[in-house]
Amino acid sequence: MKKLLLFLLFAFPSVGCDLCGCANSNAFLGLMPASNHGFMGVRYRYQNFTSHVTSTVLKTEESFQTAELWGRFYPINKVQVMAILPYAIHTQKQIAQQQSIQIAGMADPTLFVHYSLVNTLLDSTLHEVNQSLLVGAGLKPALGKFRYEESNPNQVANANFQLGTGSTDWMLNALYNIRYAAWGINADAQYRFPGENPDSYRFGARSSVAMTLFYAYGRGHKITLMPYANTTLEYAARDSRAGLSIENSGGGIQWLGAGLEAYSKRFVFGLNFAKPAAQNLSNGELQAIDRFSLHISYLF
């Protein structure tokens, strides 16, 4: 289904770095396995950034790797529950010093609950065009570590680099799918309301809209291949600390991507790759490079 994330930056005084790429953004859903089935699976995500792009002294590169347990089930009719439990590895390389700092551990989990307003696949009428619409809300508790010492040279003293946000956040989400024969379009919109963490830091509100065009090849056979192309628009408002807006934070980005889902009777394998088509993050001092994901999931 969709994706949504926005990568931005910020601004604490730190060891050679006052901004960097961000992994603490909207929960990433992507085009998910068969919408009428529950599933359990493992997903890997990678994304990278360049910070201080105009400085030869402060320039850094950040990479964010995440391995996730994710799943979906239907506890009652028309209600879908989605859970994501991530483990993250964040790495920053200081270009001038040729030094790297890495942190790893559990990141913030996410729980979504969606209600099906429309699903023509589940009614008794045969439709030439099938469509579904789900609306719901999500919760991201503060379980990932958000702690660092600004005077410690072995740490990246930056809010965006941490494993968690330190705050409890709420999300609204809508997922729409329309399909004619083998062709289909999927749309996903999400808005996130970040809370304030114990350090009086609040990440900016995030919004995302994604559109995916897909084609299902080999339907009715043992394996169905579904190539797709997508675009995602993401925006983040400025962060704040102690109620004061942080100037070098927030921004917007458009991603263009392509991927493939391969379905058998019980298993789904998927991969996706995306590059920025346009971006303005941290007044141009932060650049997203690319992002990649793959998953294998079991349908039930």
Place 8 in a pLDDT band, splitting at 50, 70 and 90: very low
pLDDT > 70 fraction of the chain, expressed in percent and rounded: 86
Least confident of 127-131, 136-140, 225-229: 127-131
E-assigned strands of the chain? 39-51, 60-73, 79-94, 99-106, 110-119, 129-140, 169-180, 183-193, 201-202, 206-215, 224-236, 240-241, 244-245, 251-263, 267-281, 286-299
Place 215 in a pLDDT band, splitting at 50, 70 and 90: very high
Alpha carbon 255 to chain centroid, angstroms:
12
| Whole-prediction pTM | 0.87
The more confidently predicted of residues 67 and 124 is: 67
* For range 289-299, the mean pLDDT: 96
Cα dihedral 26, 30, 36, 38, rounded to 10, equals -70
* For range 168-173, the mean pLDDT: 98
Residue 10 pLDDT exceeds 90: no
Place 259 in a pLDDT band, splitting at 50, 70 and 90: very high
**pLDDT one-digit tens code per residue, 36-68:** 789 999 999 999 999 988 888 989 999 999 999
**Eight-state DSSP code of residue 142:** S
Tell me the domain boundaries of the chain.
39-299
Give pLDDT, residue 150.
67
Give pLDDT, residue 248.
84
* Of the candidates 142, 290, 135, 284, the residue with the CA atom closest to the CA atom of residue 203: 142
CATH H-level, domain 39-299: superfamily? Autotransporter beta-domain (2.40.128.130)
Place 167 in a pLDDT band, splitting at 50, 70 and 90: very high
Give pLDDT, residue 151.
64
Residue 4 pLDDT exceeds 90: no
Contact 74, 300 (CB under 8 A): no
Least confident of 17-21, 51-55, 62-66, 261-265: 17-21
Contact 291, 45 (CB under 8 A): yes
